[in-house]
Amino acid sequence: MHWIILIIAGLFETAFATCLGKAKETTGTETVYWYIGFGVCLTISMLLLMKATQVLPIGTAYAVWTGIGAVGTVIIGILVFHEPATFWRIFFLSTLIASIAGLKLVSN
């Protein structure tokens, strides 16, 4: 159950990074809404991370949390913000995903 909570926390990390990116692209009231979304997603992500680390090892949980956020943010960057999907970006993204899975496999 705590791994599921940690995965959801990582997804909210991706969401708060996405809100920052969208806020940069907008003006006026819409920007304020994106910053509010950032704050909500950040709070939820941190609370879920805190809950997950009550059981999971902090080093592993934090690495997985940031890894999910990083992978998700790169994918959102490619799909939503039209960032380049070069061979090396995809290659290193794949190694990051393998590392996250490896940390989960070797943790209790």
Give residue 19's pLDDT.
98
Q: Kind and range of the H or E element at 108?
A: none
Residue-range definition of the domain harbouring residue 90: 2-106
Helices 58-79 and 2-25 pack at an angle, to 10 degrees, of: 40
pTM to 2 decimal places: 0.90
Give residue 43's pLDDT.
98
Give residue 104's pLDDT.
86
Give residue 107's pLDDT.
81
Residue 5: CB atoms within 10 A of its CB come to 20
Q: How far apart are the C-alpha atoms of 93 and 88, rounded to whole Å?
A: 8
Mean pLDDT of successive 10-residue segments in the chain (108 residues)? 96 98 96 98 98 95 95 97 96 94 85
Question: Number of folded domains in the chain?
Answer: 1
Q: How far apart are the C-alpha atoms of 24 and 39, rounded to whole Å?
A: 15
